[in-house]
Amino acid sequence: MASRFLLSLLLSLIALSRFSTVTAYNQGVGLSPQFYDYICPKAQEIVRNVVAQAYAKDPRIAASLLRLHFHDCFVKGCDASILLDSSGTIVSEKRSNPNRDSARGFEVIDQIKSALEMQCPSIVSCADILAISARDSVVLAGGPNWAVPLGRRDSLGASVQGSNNDIPAPNNTLPTILTKFKRQGLDVLDLVTLSGSHTIGNSRCTSFRQRLYNQTGNGQPDLTLDQSYASQLRANCPQSGGDQNLFHLDPVTPFKFDNQYYKNLIVHKGLLSSDEVLFTMSKDTMPIVERFANDQGSFFENYVKSIVKMGNISPLTGSNGEVRKICRRVNHK
């Protein structure tokens, strides 16, 4: 009798927990790593498996998925607006200058969403898929692991103007970049830390060409760029043409998430101007670069804090937004 009573009590508690989780899902009580534990317990496993399969075929995908999360969060918050295709009144953020011809990984997100819809229809948001896949990409590339706060919902629109204006550009000055970070509630430490995402991934010739030939409009190269490295870059990044030619952001360990990025900055081999200025243009950012170059553990520890902080930018929760069934378009009403 006692055992039957205990079993009944346990089942009641499980049911109550399930109800509380669903209630939180509907009402919005902030983000939590346990958000899907009862309503879609295999959610993170499904994301991890699809990302791992994509990474095995193409290691570049890790940087691409991480970049999608970053470019999503800096425009109207982390709401999967970057995933929407143009339709009706929506002009896709994929057409913006930061994303056009460079944002990729959308097909992987589609695969993840399709698998999740089979397991848990209309439960896991596309915004949360971006956050989880970014974490899994970093881990696959050898970086730190972290618990991803979850419970975001998806936007009903996009902002190509916000994408053009709010995402830091490779040629922005350091004050401009810092201003764009501060608008999102991120500080100098977050800026230097999250810039370390460039330890993996590629950049196009068009994003740094001016450093090789005409940095300030006087026909001279950027002298903060190691000139032997600049000569190597010119071989495949001519003064005209070759705009889409790709170069490793970190030529030393291009597919490994580590602190080599910061070591590169110290020897003036940061590929983008927006990277190198962290070491050359500010007494506030230089010591952080030096610390991370000397202590990978410190970089990893701060990276976890900063990317979770970034993932908390203006999420839609409760009855705001929706959970898209297909990440590329809003649900039909």
Confidence of residue 218 (pLDDT cuts 50, 70, 90): confident
pLDDT tens for 320-332 read 999 999 999 999 8
Q: Is residue 27's pLDDT more than 80? A: no
Is 273 within 8 Å of 233 (Cβ atoms)?
A: no
pLDDT tens for 241-274 read 999 999 999 999 999 999 999 999 999 999 999 9
Residues that constitute the known binding site for substrate: 168
Q: Is residue 286's pLDDT more than 90? A: yes
Give CA–CA dist 42/182, Å, rounded.
36
Q: Is residue 14's pLDDT more than 60? A: no
pLDDT tens for 185-201 read 999 999 999 999 999 99
Residues that constitute the known binding site for Ca(2+): 72, 75, 77, 79, 81, 93, 199, 250, 253, 258
Predicted confidence at residue 30, as pLDDT, reads: 87
Structure tokens at 142: 């050898």
Give CA–CA dist 311/207, Å, rounded.
26
Residues that constitute the known binding site: 72, 75, 77, 79, 81, 93, 168, 198-199, 250, 253, 258
Q: Is residue 101's pLDDT more than 60? A: yes
Predicted confidence at residue 309, as pLDDT, reads: 98
- How many CB atoms within 10 Å of residue 313? 18
Structure tokens at 262: 């910061």
Q: Is residue 240's pLDDT more than 90? A: yes
pLDDT tens for 104-115 read 999 999 999 999
Q: Is residue 39's pLDDT more than 60? A: yes
**What percent of the chain has pLDDT above 90?**
89
**Average pLDDT over the chain, rounded to whole?**
92
Q: Tell me the C-alpha to C-alpha distance, in Å, between residue 230 and each of 184, 237, 269, 272, 309.
A: 33, 10, 9, 11, 35
pLDDT tens for 124-137 read 999 999 999 999 99
Confidence of residue 217 (pLDDT cuts 50, 70, 90): confident
Q: Is residue 18's pLDDT more than 60? A: no
248 is catalytic: no
Predicted confidence at residue 21, as pLDDT, reads: 41
Q: Is residue 24's pLDDT more than 50? A: no
Confidence of residue 25 (pLDDT cuts 50, 70, 90): very low
Confidence of residue 333 (pLDDT cuts 50, 70, 90): low
Active-site annotation holder among 69, 71, 268, 332: 71
Q: Is residue 90's pLDDT more than 80? A: yes
Q: Is residue 8's pLDDT more than 50? A: no
Give CA–CA dist 242/143, Å, rounded.
32
